Structure 1
């Protein structure tokens, strides 16, 4: 057997099909041999740890290198992209609130309260974000503080715009080398998924999901509605043409991979590669994709609003329209402050629960429920978050190109009329 040829074929194969095969193998292993399924957890742990280790370094180098090499007359469309990120996250929060009122869920609030220290209000969240911005850069990279990483990368990248070409070339080469390392790690995703799925099924089976099936349906249904209706509508209003080819491409190429890695930050290399395949401007997506992994959290906004209102319905607390709108705003702000790693949105739930006078102990019981259903909830949330990063980046770039073409056509027509 030619192992070199086999290895080359695997490395160049369809990663999505390989991940699906890994998932199927993990389920089969857990059901046929539970002990082996639990032992396979090391594959998943190694895979996720590898991604989390390299992702902060990659974000720092990519953003810094991109800004350092940016030409002064280059158009990045970042203002439009940020507006789309915020609009999409707020719209998702509203959808989560509406879904909770249309299909109210109830929880079994009997789980033991955790010992974590979640934020207690909007002021605390904003204060935390400010302190993250001014964090030590080495500490920010070590702890995966992406707000701090972005702040330092932007600052250093802008100051290095006046550096020599040799310095800029070196930074670009280092960023490219780091990207290659991440691409190699990503190719081991099927083995990582096998371990993650095998551990989950062997440990809890499917029983933990059945008791919260209604809540899961509301969560996943709201996320699907945003992915297939709300986001396409936003993109249509931006580019004024059929958005679904682009929507389905982003869901297929980015969403499926993010569903299994369960980390927007870890899925950054996949999104960068997809943007490159779509022919987007590198100066734009090298900044917007890492930024989106930090602040574009439509799935997190849905999770925060739906789980909070599930607790509200359980306790029989009345909710009026102004309070529901305030919850949407709070969910949006909280989602933007959530980390781009697995389960990053759950600790922001007490922030929303505080609007309804719930104690921190009770709110943490809601968080515990989130971890129980996290196998599906967090995967679907990350798929929506990560695929939307590429979708809105592409929409902004396409809209900018249409404006440029319109200006060129108008100038040409003016020239013909003058002649």
Structure 2
């Protein structure tokens, strides 16, 4: 049986793990908590190795980079796609909120222990400060902006090093890649544990009271994933986008859905980008950068929950304000941490556009925590799969 499973593709084994996890949650719910260790170990392993992987790969890629290969010119259009994708996602969320307005029950306990950013300026300040973080602290705290900054700087410095040093960096990167492949091979076991615990603890009755809000959130994210993103990819690649879109959703989105962490999914995306033919010098920069700033799902969450609050309070919103909200949601989403629930703490920033008090905004954050089992999982799947999707799309763009 184990030999037969080993011959199956990783995606097939993950699908089998999902089915078994749901079955355990339904028929043996008391067993599910004991399986949480499998999921916790898998996520911990991914999060532990991801910072070192990014640092070593970026450092090695830049140190050994050959000028004229064309890979360096691809980072700028990838970042542009990230920004446009987030803005279009926010605008899509605005229209969805107007067509299907949601009402919140703003009577939940105030979450005093959670501290959101004070303003949009504070988010931008934090992003800039991340660039100059201590490298050891950046790696230990998985600050991928800081990791990228130091890896790029040291990589440029190592371009003038001896060939022996460059070979050492290449060998180190390959060694870390082997560790990553080992960790990813255990994905079916980890996802089995995550699925069992998630479905056993989700509580369908708890989610039912916010069914419409969840439907609008998840429906908008699916629309972005299956309509907005394919249009952008088709525009860039001049080809049918759906084979690539569906592959990225299947091989990156499923894993991200259950890990609920863009940072933890970086190794998965790097492996997928490599198999899809993206040069390591491009993927090793674009994928971690996407995990840090490309948050289309977060922009949807921020926009929809903010407008649900506005609708509940009876505040009128004109078209100009909607566009401004989309811009704020886009910039705020860039500051969302790549961990579970990272986007929810940015809702008070968007609510500030409408002079909504922090007390009310934090009640909305609490509501977000209630529905986060499905909302945050779907959001992360969209965020992370889009990282590799746009990277591959730019890589495949026809040359002018």
Bucket of the pairwise TM-score, normalised by the shorter protein: over 0.9
2:103 matched residue in structure 1? 106
Alignment partner, residue 413 of structure 1: none
Deviations 1:244-276 (A, max 9, x none): 222222222222222222222222222222222
Secondary structure of the corresponding residue to residue 264 of structure 1: coil
Tell me what 1:408 maps to: none
Q: Which residue of 2 aligns with 1:21?
A: 16
Paired residues in the alignment total: 397
* Uncovered stretches (5+) of structure 1, i.e. residues with no partner: 404-419
Q: Once structures 1 and 2 are overlaid, which stretch shifts more, 20-29 or 373-382? A: 20-29
CA RMSD, 1 decimal: 1.8
1:49 pairs with 2:44? yes
Describe how 1:124-143 pairs up with structure 2 within 5 A.
124-143=122-141
Corresponding position of 1:260: 258
Deviation at 1:113, TM superposition (A): 2.0
Once residues 98 and 208 of structure 2 are traced to their aligned partners in structure 1, the CA distance between those partners, rounded to angstroms, is 22
Bigger Rg, structure 1 or 2: 1
Relative to structure 1, is the Cα distance of residues 360 and 237 closer, same or farther in structure 2, using a 3 angstrom cutoff?
same
CA 1:231 to 1:366, structure 2 compared with 1: closer, same or farther past 3 Å? same
Q: Distance in 2 between matches of 1:201 and 1:389?
A: 27
Q: Are the aligned partners of 1:22 and 1:190 in contact in 2 as well (CA < 8 Å)?
A: yes
Aligned to 1:247: 245
Is the Cα contact below 8 Å between 1:59 and 1:149 reproduced in 2?
yes
C-alpha change, 1:295 and 1:239, in structure 2 (3 Å) is: same
Tell me the CA shift for residue 12 of structure 1. Answer: 5.2
Corresponding residue of 2:147:
149
Aligned equivalents of 1:149, 1:205: Cα separation in 2: 38
TM-score normalised by L of structure 1 = 0.90
Taking the aligned partners of 1:391 and 1:46, their CA distance within structure 2 comes to 27
Q: What does residue 333 of structure 1 align with?
A: 331
Residue 39 and residue 230 in structure 1: after superposition, are their counterparts in 2 closer, same or farther (change >3 A)? same
Counterpart Cα distance in 1 of 2:98 and 2:43: 36
TM-score normalized by the length of structure 2? 0.94
Q: Report the CA distance between 1:9 and its aligned residue.
A: 5.2
State which drifts further: 83-92 or 252-261: 252-261
- Aligned pair in 2 of structure 1 residues 206, 68: CA closer, same or farther (>3 Å)? same
Stretches of structure 2 that go unaligned for 5 or more consecutive residues are none
Give the SS at the match of 1:24.
helix
Which residue of the partner structure matches residue 93 of structure 2? Answer: 96
Aligned 8 A contact 1:11 1:187 in 2: no
